[in-house]
Structure 1
């Protein structure tokens, strides 16, 4: 691919997605409504934010430097701070004053004379997708690489290899078992072993892995996973890496629907992987999974008919792919079959539950949604929040139309002492009319009633991607 590249022609580098470069600290933020005093902690979100104008290519949501945005809340007051995740590659670009690496599709790498031998000729680390805390470590996570450890003030402390036990890294969506404190993770690679899984114990030590997944013989992309009491659940859609095509100017990912989609149930005790086969579909994000008394696995997720990268507008993706809504798959490890059921047809993404229920039956699913009113929304842009309740006398859906606001992923902040529900949903939002950004706080008891508080952020927060509520430790 030619290095000639016009960033102004890339929608995800402008508007509500445009990067910000200023790092800001602000206290006593303006609040519309009343910020619940029981919220004592910080809401953090990571997302693509190029430090310099990209060269070669830019593919949302894969490309872009990481930037953390945090709102600290206590006693009804709030303060804000944002910081880049400063990898050695970003520091080299800051020293040069411009981008040195191209986007992942362009295959542009700086030489040793520009960045030194350690960084030359390799892909740029991009910890720009998610942020999690585990065993006292605050981690900024990328697609398939080592996370970067961050300090409590969001300063970058360095690459996290977990004592050298996970040198290849993990992907952006590990899952922590709330009953054991174990963090399960996986990682795909462009060379053997193509796919591995691992477990980090509650104390931060690596107890398992990296362990190759038998039966995977080619490089393919898997963005998210789920966790049950018995299994790591991985959905292997037919999205295969093709470096030969990328080197000759083609796509570095090939969608091959004739191969179908496989579901891997990886026993946490290390025994043989159980496989199930289904017609081709893609998922970016799982909701949750759990085991049934009959030995099956229930997996909720947002389904796409095909891989879509950077091309979605008003729900339409590359090749006509459209997010088809919330779906439930029941996987039977004994028969190797998958039974899928559509739960909700609305255009949704970025699903979350109360993380205290990971691996157990969940009651409420929160999602960013498209209201259908705005034809010009891009991929990753939503103008409503939707809740799907799974229990009781049948499914119940709730919707809050955000009006002129574009909203992101909702994350749950439980009230102290609550068990299931009882708390607030948090999300960043940006006004499409004037570019102002807000942190929205919606009560779990009546989320469709809208926010009880809107916290004014002193800078615009670019849309996307994932965040976490981290309560203050007592």
Structure 2
């Protein structure tokens, strides 16, 4: 049962109460000229007077910041106007309404379309000023929900994604080509009702992760999932290609649950290396209770979330796994030109530990040396997921910028920080017209020649 003031409606997560548009934003420092485009970020932001029963059920609000020619031209925030925003239920007498979406988890661009995503529903298309166009089903070809974490192949431009369901078929895999046409759909056999929030794409494989969190019809928060010691924890490796779903292999791993993948790739020996923050049973309990406002929760939305590495040797049929860092982190990102290939650098957001010790910060990992660097953002300031943008003429993987929106409780304000991705030094600060509630995921949408 939720409390009168659940944690996902307080502090850094206090919802924004109105839609605004502001132009000519104040900039401290110098914005790099190659930052010509829009930073879009999504998150759960219920309307005033609405108390959702779970953090993830809050209606989606997209925030946008337009940068061009060294200026911050505008900021605007808009709710994604889905049927759920006006109270339409997800479950109906005819079954799930895939348009009744919170649309509050992620926002991406593919083939010229802006899509707000929530994994139980169809995507919702937005226009360039964040107005809602409507549910998008790939011209009638998409008949399932769509994950909030699709992967765009940096080589082919294809968009790979999936639908996970508590009911058979539990897993359906999709591919849209670089033009946005849905060209492949396949039901993946042997999958279970385990929650699959994210997945990984390598040059040759699709990698699915089934942890110990699975469908639980007794969970009444509106998100019917819970931890089960009886649910096998495993990794599924599927060859890319039209018939790959017939050849998926599952590998048992230690109990746990992963929400977000850092990256995956084939190493020089042909093994698959997969990394991402994971939680154990206690970490999931503390986090879930925070997400639902239940007693016995942690002080933060994630608890005991440590980066883990799996090395899958398909020839030997073995998996080596271990925790590679003891810092609680979430929202991993990277230079997406390296998505699916071996990467040296990864970024994440650091959180206080399960006892509330430690602070927020933006973390850079060097996977070659094992070094970890943290950019501390200051007291009572929470940075959001850091989006990497390559620098003009980049020659090294970390030549670029990290863009993160910070919630500042002391000043009741927010800023966009632009950091040097190499050394994590601050390059510029863009002051936003109001405090932006801490949210989830977003994207940098660079200008095309037509919009520059």
Query: TM over 0.5, yes or no?
Result: yes
1:309 to 285, 288, 306: 288
Partner of 1:260: 232
Question: Would the alpha carbon gap of residues 119 and 232 (structure 1) be closer, same or farther in structure 2, given more than 3 Å must change?
Answer: closer
Shift in Å, 1:32: 2.0
Question: Would the alpha carbon gap of residues 453 and 203 (structure 1) be closer, same or farther in structure 2, given more than 3 Å must change?
Answer: same
Partner of 1:96: none
**1:240 aligns to 2:236 (yes or no):** no
The answer on whether the counterparts of 1:185 and 1:198 sit within 8 Å (CA) in structure 2 is yes
Shift in Å, 1:242: 2.1
The answer on whether the counterparts of 2:289 and 2:297 sit within 8 Å (CA) in structure 1 is no
1:50 to 36, 43, 46: 46
For 1:140 and 1:25, how far apart are their aligned partners in 2?
A: 19
For 1:147 and 1:122, how far apart are their aligned partners in 2?
A: 9
Shift in Å, 1:250: 10
- In structure 1, the gaps of 5 or more residues are 94-98, 112-116
**1:401 aligns to 2:382 (yes or no):** no
Shift in Å, 1:253: 1.7
The alignment yields a C-alpha RMSD, in angstroms, of 2.8
Partner of 1:10: 6
Query: Number of matched residues?
Result: 435
**1:66 aligns to 2:60 (yes or no):** yes
- In structure 2, the gaps of 5 or more residues are none
For 1:291 and 1:304, how far apart are their aligned partners in 2?
A: 24
The answer on whether the counterparts of 1:161 and 1:169 sit within 8 Å (CA) in structure 2 is no
Report SS of the residue matched to 1:356. helix
Instruction: Report runs of 4+ in structure 1 exceeding 4 Å deviation.
Output: 117-123, 315-318, 371-374
For 1:237 and 1:186, how far apart are their aligned partners in 2?
A: 17
The answer on whether the counterparts of 2:100 and 2:121 sit within 8 Å (CA) in structure 1 is no
Partner of 1:157: 133
For 1:146 and 1:227, how far apart are their aligned partners in 2?
A: 21
**1:31 aligns to 2:3 (yes or no):** no
| Aligned 1:382-461 pairs, distance under 5 A | 383-391=360-368, 394-404=369-379, 405-419=381-395, 420-447=397-424, 449=425, 451-461=426-436
For 2:229 and 2:174, how far apart are their aligned partners in 1?
A: 28
Q: Deviations for 1:366-407, whole angstroms, at most 9, x for unmatched residues?
A: 110136699389xxxx6211100112xx22211111112111
The answer on whether the counterparts of 2:211 and 2:233 sit within 8 Å (CA) in structure 1 is yes
Shift in Å, 1:11: 1.2
Partner of 1:114: none
The answer on whether the counterparts of 2:390 and 2:400 sit within 8 Å (CA) in structure 1 is yes
For 1:37 and 1:120, how far apart are their aligned partners in 2?
A: 46
The answer on whether the counterparts of 1:16 and 1:435 sit within 8 Å (CA) in structure 2 is no
For 2:422 and 2:97, how far apart are their aligned partners in 1?
A: 52
Report SS of the residue matched to 1:344. coil
For 2:435 and 2:157, how far apart are their aligned partners in 1?
A: 35
Report SS of the residue matched to 1:386. strand
